[in-house]
Amino acid sequence: MVNYVSNEQRKTGEEMQEFLTEQKSIYLQICEMIETDILRGILLEEERVPSTNELARLYTINPATAAKGINLLVDQGILYKKRGIGMFVATGAADKIRTRRKEVFQKTKLFQFLQEAKSLGITKEELVSMISRWEEQQ
Amino acid sequence: MSQLVCHGITKSYGDKEVLHGIDLTLESGKIYGLIGRNGAGKTTLLSILSNQNPATAGAVTLDQEPVWENRKALDRLCFSRELNISSESGLGNYRVKDYLRAAATYYTHWDRDLEKNLMTTFGVDAKKRLNKLSKGMLSMVTIIVALASKAEFTLLDEPVAGLDVVAREQFYRLLLQEYTQTGRTFVISTHIIEEAADLLEEVIILDQGRVIRKENTQELVGRAFQVTGLAEQVEAAIGNLETHHKESLGRSESAMVFLQKGQSIPEGYEITVQPVNLQKVFVALCGGETQI
C-alpha cells in the first residue's frame, strides 16, 4: 500500500486525494484558518473577510498565495466577491464547511484511525468500549 | 507589464567562466527569490542585471532597451549590495547619514520619509561610521537603501545576512508592506530559504552558473515528494519519474521525485510518500547524490 504522509489534497488525475500530516501548502492553511474562523464565529456570514494584502502582511506570505487560498474558498461557495468592496462570507458557509469537514473526517481520518486499530488487532467491541470509556472521562 | 530580461549572459573572471549563458525574464509586480550555493554566481548575476558589472557576453534589457549605461533604464533599477567596508574601499569612513545622502542623490525616486521611518524601525545610528557597524547593522543599511530607492526593480543581495530573527521578521513584513502598497518588483537572494519561501512568488535556482529552475514557489514545492521504503520497492515505484538525490541506508532508499502534470506516484508499492519544503527541494537539486 502506498502510504501518503500528508494532510494535503493533491490532484491525482481527476480526483482529489487527501493526505495526512502537518505539512500543507500555505494556501490550504489560509483556507483552513478562514474556515475555522467562520466555524468559531470569528467571521460572521455576510461579513467582509480580510483582503489578500491584509492576509499577506498578517502571515508574511506572498499576496498571490493568499489570493490562491481565497479563490479556492470562492470556488467552494464559502466566500463571494462584491465588486470593488471585497470578499464576504456567504450565507450558509458554516454549514457547508461543517458538511465537507465531516466528509473528510469519515473518508480519511476515520479510515486511518481504523487502519491503525486493525493493524494493532483492536476489535470493533474494544473500540466501542474505548470510546464509551473516553466519553465517561470527559 | 515591464520586463527585465537577461539574454545569454556569460561572465568570466580571468579564464574562469562563472555564468554560462543565462536567459532569464523577470516580470514586474513579483517577488522573486534567487537561491544558490556559495559561489553559484548569485551576486555576479544581480550586479550584471543592474549595470554594476559588465557581462562578458550577452545583454540585459529593460522593456527591450539595453540597461548598460542607460540612465533612463537605471532610474528604474536598484541593486543594494553588501557594503564593502574594507580599508581599500574607503567606504568604511563614511557616516551612515552621508552614505544615505549619496544614495538619495543617485536614486531619482528616493523616499526620504521612508528612509527616516526605516532608520527608526531598525534603530540605526545615523552618526556612526560604516566601519563601526556590525554585520547586521550593515545589512539594515542595505535594506534601507533598497526600500527607500523606490526603484521599480529592486535587487537585494542577502539582505538578511547577519540579522537576528526579530530584525529578519521585521524585514519580511516591511518588504510585504512595500510590495502590497506599490507592486514593485523585488529579487532577493538568501540562504535562509525556509523563512523566505512563503514570501516568494517565484523561485530562481542558480547552480554553478546556470539557472536550473525558475518556477512558482508553491507549484515547485507542490510537485516534489520524498519517497522512502525498501530499495527495490522505491526503485520500481519511481522508475519513470524525474528523480533526484537518492540516498540509501541498509535496505532502505529515499529519493525526491518531481511529478509532471498528470503524473502520479503509482499505487501498489510498500512506500511512504511525504511532501517536502523548498529547502529540501533545493538540497535535492543542488546537493548532489549521497551514499550513507
> What pLDDT, on the 0 to 100 scale, is given for residue B262?
86
Q: Are B133 and B96 in contact (CB under 8 A)?
A: yes
**Residue B279 pLDDT grade (very low, low, confident, very high; cuts 50, 70, 90):** very high
**Residue A19 pLDDT grade (very low, low, confident, very high; cuts 50, 70, 90):** very low
> What pLDDT, on the 0 to 100 scale, is given for residue B240?
86
**What is the model's pTM?**
0.85
Q: Using a CB-CB distance cutoff of 8 angstroms, which residues of chain A are in contact with residue B180?
A: 53, 56-57, 63
Q: Using a CB-CB distance cutoff of 8 angstroms, which residues of chain B are in contact with residue A64?
A: 30, 201
Residue A4 lies in a domain: no
**Residue A18 pLDDT grade (very low, low, confident, very high; cuts 50, 70, 90):** very low
Q: Which CATH number is B3-219 given?
A: 3.40.50.300
Rounded Cα distance, A68 and A71, in Å:
5
Instruction: Give B171-207 pLDDT, tens digit per residue.
Output: 999 999 999 999 999 999 999 999 999 999 999 999 9
Residue A55 lies in a domain: yes
Q: Using a CB-CB distance cutoff of 8 angstroms, which residues of chain B are in contact with residue A112?
A: none
**Min CA distance, A50 vs chain B (Å)?**
14
Asked whether the beta carbons of residue A65 and residue B218 sit closer than 8 angstroms, the reply is: yes
Nearest 5°: CA angle at A57, between A51 and A63? 60
Burial class (CB in 10 A: 0-12, 13-18, 19+), B107: buried
Instruction: Give A62-100 pLDDT, tens digit per residue.
Output: 999 999 999 999 999 999 999 989 999 999 999 999 999
- pLDDT beyond 90 at B253: yes
Range in A34-48, B12-26, B131-145, B260-274 with the lowest mean pLDDT: B260-274
Range in A17-26, A99-108, B268-277 with the lowest mean pLDDT: A17-26
The verdict on ipTM greater than 0.85 is no
> What pLDDT, on the 0 to 100 scale, is given for residue A2?
57
- pLDDT beyond 80 at A49: yes
Query: Which grid coordinates are listed for B183?
Result: 507592486
- pLDDT beyond 70 at A17: no
Range in A7-21, B153-167, B266-280 with the lowest mean pLDDT: A7-21
A4-8 average pLDDT score: 50
- Per the structure, how many domains does chain A have? 1
Residue A1 lies in a domain: no
The SS3 of residue B9 is strand
DSSP B91: G
> What pLDDT, on the 0 to 100 scale, is given for residue A16?
33
Mutation choice for A interface testing from B166, B218, B234 by most A CBs within 10 A: B218
DSSP B276: -
Rounded Cα distance, B292 and B276, in Å:
20
Query: Which grid coordinates are listed for B139?
Result: 545589512
Amino acid residing at A27:
Y
CATH of the domain at A94: 1.10.10.10
Burial class (CB in 10 A: 0-12, 13-18, 19+), B269: buried
Average pLDDT, chain A: 84
> What pLDDT, on the 0 to 100 scale, is given for residue B196?
94
Q: Using a CB-CB distance cutoff of 8 angstroms, which residues of chain B are in contact with residue A9?
A: none
- pLDDT beyond 80 at B87: no
B94-107 average pLDDT score: 94
> What pLDDT, on the 0 to 100 scale, is given for residue B267?
85
Mutation choice for B interface testing from A2, A6, A65, A119 by most B CBs within 10 A: A2
- pLDDT beyond 50 at B51: yes
Percent of chain B scoring above 70 in pLDDT: 98
Asked whether the beta carbons of residue B275 and residue A53 sit closer than 8 angstroms, the reply is: no
Smallest Cβ distance to A61: which of B198, B268, B277?
Answer: B198
> What pLDDT, on the 0 to 100 scale, is given for residue A11?
37
**Residue A21 pLDDT grade (very low, low, confident, very high; cuts 50, 70, 90):** very low
Asked whether the beta carbons of residue B275 and residue A23 sit closer than 8 angstroms, the reply is: yes
Range in A117-126, B77-86, B278-287 with the lowest mean pLDDT: B77-86
**Residue A115 pLDDT grade (very low, low, confident, very high; cuts 50, 70, 90):** confident
**Residue B290 pLDDT grade (very low, low, confident, very high; cuts 50, 70, 90):** low
Q: Note down the domain range covering A35.
A: 9-137
Smallest Cβ distance to A53: which of B180, B200, B272?
Answer: B180
> What pLDDT, on the 0 to 100 scale, is given for residue A13?
31
Percent of chain A scoring above 70 in pLDDT: 83
Asked whether the beta carbons of residue B172 and residue A60 sit closer than 8 angstroms, the reply is: yes
Residue of A nearest to B222 (CA): A25
- pLDDT beyond 70 at B131: yes
Residue A3 lies in a domain: no
- pLDDT beyond 80 at A31: yes
Question: For chain B, what are the domain ranges?
Answer: 3-219, 223-286
A34-52 average pLDDT score: 94
What are the DSSP E strand ranges found in B112-265? 153-157, 185-189, 202-207, 210-216, 224-230, 242-249, 252-258
